[in-house]
Amino acid sequence: MRHEFLETWHEAATTTVGLFWTAFWAFALGYAISAMIQVFVTRQTMRDRMGTTGPKSVAIGTIFGFLSSSCSFSALSGARTLFAKGAGLVPSMAFLLASTNLVVELGIIIAIFLGWQFVVGEYVGGLILIGLMWLVIRLTRGIAPIEEARDRAQASQNENGDGSEERSSWREKIRSRDSWAMVAQRYVMEWQMVWKDVTVGFTVAGIIAAFVPRDFFEWLFIGGADPNFGELLAQALVGPVAAFFTFIGSMGNIPLAAVLYGNGVAFAGIMAFIFSDLVVLPVLRINAQYYGWKMALYILAVFLVVLVTTAMLLHYGFALLGLLPTADQIRNVVDREFFAFDYTFWMNVAFLVMTLGFLGWKIAQSGWSFAVKRGILETSLLALAFGSYLWLAVGLLIGTSL
């Protein structure tokens, strides 16, 4: 029994490190894009491009998201940047939804693990999510503390900067060494803001993947692969709950989604699970840091409504067209190979070099600080983060003695 537990511990630690290794380049890409938007794009430009909530503004926000990273944490940072710079709430949220549902790399991973039907569902569903989000916000805008949230977003973004609005154009800034030094500082600051959430989230995901038996998820998603309407709705509602326990971001959830689908969860339940990376506790907490708790809870409620509705529409739409996939197409993801000399390796090497360069530049410019915000939640999260590092270190070392 003890030997089995140690083997599982080692598997959990290896899974955590492997999943983070798989997603690191996406984190770095997203934070780099966010940092450059913060430095090179002025508030007036953002107001001119995305200051209204019309089809053009929403389309621009969606395109910006499509060109961004699929990492949920970096997408949150990018959406906060757009909103703080003066973009409307709907275009900013369109960017956020597109960043986590319409990016190319996410479609590739879904195709590998789940098949083309899920790729179509992801992209069509992403557009439906944005449209429904627009409708729900339009109907409930009166209860959304938008201006208060914008003030908080600006304060959050400028917390480690002077917040001044420079008069120089983006062409002048992009040729300026000082501007790129500011990009380096902003990039490091983004990592400083969420490293604890990332650490704990990935560690919990590895533990769940290794220790929790598959039949737990079969029990959690009632009705199996052929549910009635009530059971299907229950699966779509449970999707966010399962995502809460296994949250590691948009791409990291896909292998777990394949395991769920291979064990009898319906198409709607899987799509709701995949869409739920923006309605989990780490994301809620970061949104609360950015916008305040009122706005964070409002965004959470809007996303829950639209993702459940979208999952149901996709399921019945695919069923009507005879396109619902079958579980026998799912590849085995339990023995997944994380570390190989593939494109992920070379992307990670490139972005690791960039990260180390930005970090060194930031330290040379302003030194290094390890300031931690006060409060029970922050202190607890810090303790959990360091506890996670200890768990991972011991778990990895166990493998050398087994």
DSSP 126-180: HHHHHHHHHHHHHHHGGG--HHHHHHHHHHHHTTTS------S-HHHHHT-HHHH
Number of Cβ within a 10 Å radius of residue 141: 12
Are the C-beta atoms of residues 203 and 16 closer than 8 Å to each other? yes
pLDDT at 289: 86
- What residues of the chain score a pLDDT lower than 50? 160-164, 331-334
Query: How many domains, in total, are found in the chain?
Result: 1
pLDDT at 349: 94
pLDDT at 169: 64
3-state secondary structure of 1: coil
Are the C-beta atoms of residues 125 and 311 closer than 8 Å to each other? yes
Are the C-beta atoms of residues 34 and 361 closer than 8 Å to each other? no
pLDDT in tens, 295-353: 999 999 999 999 999 999 999 999 999 988 876 655 444 455 677 787 788 989 999 99
pLDDT in tens, 153-180: 888 776 544 444 555 666 677 778 888 8
Are the C-beta atoms of residues 220 and 242 closer than 8 Å to each other? yes
Are the C-beta atoms of residues 268 and 312 closer than 8 Å to each other? yes
Range of the domain at 216: 2-398
pLDDT at 205: 73
Per DSSP, the residues of 209-221 read HHHS-HHHHHHHS
Residues recorded for the chain: 402
User: Computed from CA positions of residues 375, 377, 378, 381, in that sequence, does the dihedral angle turn out positive or negative?
Assistant: positive
Name the token pair of 220.
């959690």
pLDDT at 326: 75
Report how far Cα 117 is from the mean position of its chain's Cα atoms: 22
Rg, C-alpha atoms of the chain: 21
